[in-house]
Amino acid sequence: MTNDTSLPGLDRLLATCEKYSVQVNTRKPWGGASDAGTLLLGLPLDPMLAAFYSRLGGLHLDFDLFVEPCDEQVNGILMANEEVQPYWPEPFRSLVIFGCREASAYRYATVPSLADAQGLQPVVKVDPYEDFYALPIASNVDRFFDTYARYLELVYMDPEIREERGAWPVFPWDVPELIATDRTLMRMLVEGRFDFLMFRQGVGAERTHEEIREWIAQLRAVST
């Protein structure tokens, strides 16, 4: 896979932002962007993430999705991962953070240990607030952009929701129907391959596990 791989999910996300006039800031791509497989704190850079950075130097939706900038001025992806090293436990330190929900500690990361034969890594949303855990979002980075685009469509096409952040569906909790369309992800989920990120020990683990199990049940219900 090369850095000029097509990214239809990203195209859809950008088109959605344009269609609904969502404020989006992008950076110019940098010729020196890392190639797929380049090691980042010892972890391989996802091929689709590398393809993303060959197209854009970063992407920022105001108070929403923030994809780390990587250009000649700043290596955001490296900084974001270095930043959490002193604080995050394993296995979360072995994820590759590439974005966040702005102004929050929620992070989006790829999972190198779950890469497929082509090296494509699935995407998770990490909740580091209390007991660390992560929810699977997409089977690869471009699929993540596609799902997020569909989520924004859901939000912005409804004027009753659009203007009221407190009424937005919570991503990904409230949109199982979007997550479940990713068959590859669902298969991995059913096989238990994300369990090591979802079902952790901790003070409030039982409550969290129960909530995650309910969500997985919703995913399975809408995917059949």
Q: How far is the CB of 8 from other proteins (least distance, A)?
A: 26
Q: What are phi and psi of 210, to 5 degrees?
A: -65, -45
Toward other proteins, which CB reaches closer, 153 or 174?
A: 174
Smallest distance, Å, CB 116 to other proteins?
A: 28
Report cis status (omega within 30 of 0) of the bond before 172: yes
Q: Which is nearer to other proteins, 119 or 128 (CB)?
A: 128
Report how far residue 111's alpha carbon sits from residue 123's, in angstroms, rounded to the nearest whole number.
6
Checking 24-27 for CB contacts under 8 A at 24+ apart, the result is 24/59, 24/60, 24/61, 24/62, 25/58, 25/59, 25/60, 25/62, 26/56, 26/57, 26/58, 26/59, 26/60, 27/56, 27/57, 27/58, 27/59, 27/69, 27/71
Residue placing its CB nearer to other proteins in the complex, 96 or 120 = 96
Give me the least distance between CB of 100 and other proteins, in Å please. 7
Least spacing, CB of residue 18 vs other proteins, in Å: 21
Which of 91, 169 has the CB closer to other proteins?
169
Chain residues binding other proteins by CB under 8 A are: 25, 58, 60, 63, 66, 68-69, 74, 76, 79-80, 83-84, 86-87, 100-106, 127-130, 159-161, 163-171, 173-174, 203-204, 207-208, 211
